[in-house]
Structure 1
């Protein structure tokens, strides 16, 4: 298959260019806000619409700052030291999920302290809202033609503009389906019943870590890092290991799943 060659600029107003990559973040935040309002409207949710608005504002800041700084620190520090202004050119891509997660955890901590809500309750409330954001983020990667996979002869393999003449795994779409669609459905159904604190957040961390770890086997690692060990271990997999461990621990801690 041939890459569809989607123009990364969605539309322009004079000299102002609005890119699909940025629009995907807008879609993610609006989708999260709407889903958060829906969850808050459930009987005895313990959440007000104002709580959702405030928390999503903090989360939005945490995601953007954390994801960008995480990519800078984890994936390409030398390049950003060489050209510090590149840090601000977010339209070129370069956002780290794991950095964004740290930013979100910081937002959770601040919100839980100022609103006197338990940290795990905040994490459990937000966890089912995250996968739709991951879906839009991966679609942004796909439109940018970045983060493609290894060469493949599968019928859906694609020739990406920056990936040479070889057909490759569309690993962005794999992640969109697993981390986005599948994870959303699982978490939304799982959180439809009251669970013990940490169970929903734990399931998110565990499944995201497993899905991402698996896709990394067919995704080409960042060229400036390559494989870290054994000829297959990537930075993405290394960063997923503590996520899997924490997710498993939270689920173990929350057993049995039904709250008393």
Structure 2
């Protein structure tokens, strides 16, 4: 038995699982008979749709309960519906512009110069979470000012609901075999497809054959997308929900938003140690990645929000 366990241990440390190889699309419908291209309902898009829908549902559950807020909830149902529309705009524009400003302008200016329309080709990939959160923050600020509602309380709603979308989209990143991790010999390692199919998104998937492209030289990597799904999405959702439903965190405006920023910043920084850095990003020390660098303002902003929330008195019904 001892020899068997030893052999199994050696096998687990040497062997690696293969990427499941699921299709990046839930369904694909060929409209060639009417002269239109094939429509792919992709898991990545579904991650955003389900995340936004889940965020709206959870926000409505919070707004139905005045006792969680220590008084009148900050938004009505109609106002929340209106806000969700603008949040979607903030996510899309902020995420895309963030990617262009944070990654393309410093490192891929030649691509922008050769084809300026790349900026609007969101369907080709390229969304930055930190840009998305700036877009949402801008929308929240304008919305609160226009409607005369409390910005910090609206920010708390965004803080506890955002992890739903983050967790789902990171899972979609895994299905797309993108943003995978660094090489590892650990049992959790996966063999991801690293080939390239010209003009395809994701780049390693051939939509015509329905097959993933492998080079034959792949090595096991951390499934860092799943690490991020937990650390940036599901763990913050669990912690913040506990603080809200058990300890009345919403009664201190800004506290939930601040804790979310800290938790995301910590989770992202930890996950970056396992995630393969973008190949085109250069000039940073080995111990620092762009994801860590862009998370620094979140640490600072989150700490200020927590301090500001805790210095005042808690609301009471």
Aligned to 1:251: 306
Q: Between Structure 1 and Structure 2, whose CA radius of gyration is higher? A: 2
Match for residue 63 of structure 2 among 40, 50, 66: 40
Name the structure 2 match of 1:9: 25
1:74 counterpart = 2:102: yes
Correspondence for 2:51: 28
CA distance in 1, matches of 2:277, 2:240: 28
3-state SS of 1:191 partner = helix
**Of 243, 259, 269, the match for 1:190:** 243
Aligned residue runs from structure 1 range 123-142, under 5 A = 123-142=155-174
Q: CA deviation at 1:9?
A: 2.2
- Per the TM alignment, residue 121 of structure 1 is displaced from its structure 2 partner at its CA by 1.6
TM-score when normalising by structure 2: 0.77
Taking a change above 3 Å as real, the CA distance of residues 81 and 142 of structure 1, as seen in their structure-2 partners, is: farther
Q: How far off its partner does 1:39 sit? A: 1.3
1:53 corresponds, among 65, 69, 81, to 81
Q: Find the residue that maps to 2:288 and give its secondary structure.
A: coil
Gapped runs of 5+ residues in structure 1?
none
May I ask how many residue pairs the two structures share in their alignment? 259
The answer on whether the counterparts of 2:74 and 2:154 sit within 8 Å (CA) in structure 1 is no
- State the 1:113 CA deviation: 1.3
Once structures 1 and 2 are overlaid, which stretch shifts more, 72-81 or 30-39? 72-81
TM-score normalised to structure 1 length:
0.94
CA distance in 2, matches of 1:71, 1:82: 17
Give the Å deviation of 1:86. Answer: 3.3
Alignment-derived partner of residue 35 in structure 2 = none
- For structure 2, list consecutive stretches of 5 or more residues without a partner in the other structure: 1-16, 32-37, 67-71, 196-216
Bigger shift: 91-100 or 234-243?
A: 91-100
